[in-house]
């Protein structure tokens, strides 16, 4: 419910702007490779994951929220809607200083005016110690 309220608020905000053609109820689609494989990562190093996101629909893509699965994952979020055909690079940084050795898997959740409204991205790697 909280996610719906956030998304609705953003859509209303952008629909009231003179420069935007976003209206409530306009759903769009996006294309993104959902997994970033960092390979082997030395314990303590940061993983800098990059996901290329493309608006493949007919309406502006409004991203209400991009959130990491834990406090060790920091993600940048666009401030403006992404026009049809437009691209946005989602950058996520994962700190491994508190990670255990072995497989690492962190998620990034994108809440947008898509169907379904939540898209999950995954950052994977293998943390090792010297």
Q: Which domain holds residue 10?
A: 2-128
**Strand locations in 1-130 (E):** 30-32, 35-42, 46-55, 63-68, 73-75, 87-95, 102-112, 118-128
The closest of 8, 50, 44 to 26, measured between CA atoms, is 8
The total number of structural domains in the chain stands at: 1
H or E stretch including 13?
helix 2-15
Each residue's pLDDT tens digit, 61-106: 999 999 998 888 888 889 899 999 999 999 999 999 999 999 999 9
- How far is C-alpha 1 from the geometric centre of its chain's CA atoms? 19
- What is the rounded CA–CA span in Å between residue 42 and residue 126? 8
Indicate the SS3 state at residue 115: coil
Assign residue 36 the CATH number of its domain: 2.60.40.10
Relative to beta strand 46-55, strand 102-112 is: unpaired
What pLDDT does residue 21 have?
A: 54
Each residue's pLDDT tens digit, 27-53: 999 999 999 999 999 999 999 999 999
């Amino acid at each position: 419910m909280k996610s719906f309220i956030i998304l609705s608020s953003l859509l209303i905000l952008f629909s009231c702007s003179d420069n935007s053609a976003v209206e409530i109820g306009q759903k769009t689609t996006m294309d993104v490779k959902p997994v970033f494989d960092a390979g082997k990562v030395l314990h303590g190093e940061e993983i800098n994951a990059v996901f290329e996101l493309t608006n493949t629909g007919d309406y502006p893509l409004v991203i209400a929220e991009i959130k990491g699965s834990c406090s060790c994952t920091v993600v940048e979020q666009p401030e403006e809607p992404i026009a049809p055909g437009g691209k946005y690079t989602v950058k996520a940084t994962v700190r491994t200083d508190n990670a255990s050795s072995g497989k690492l898997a962190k998620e990034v959740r994108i809440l947008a005016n898509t169907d379904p409204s939540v898209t999950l991205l995954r950052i994977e790697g293998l943390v090792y110690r010297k």
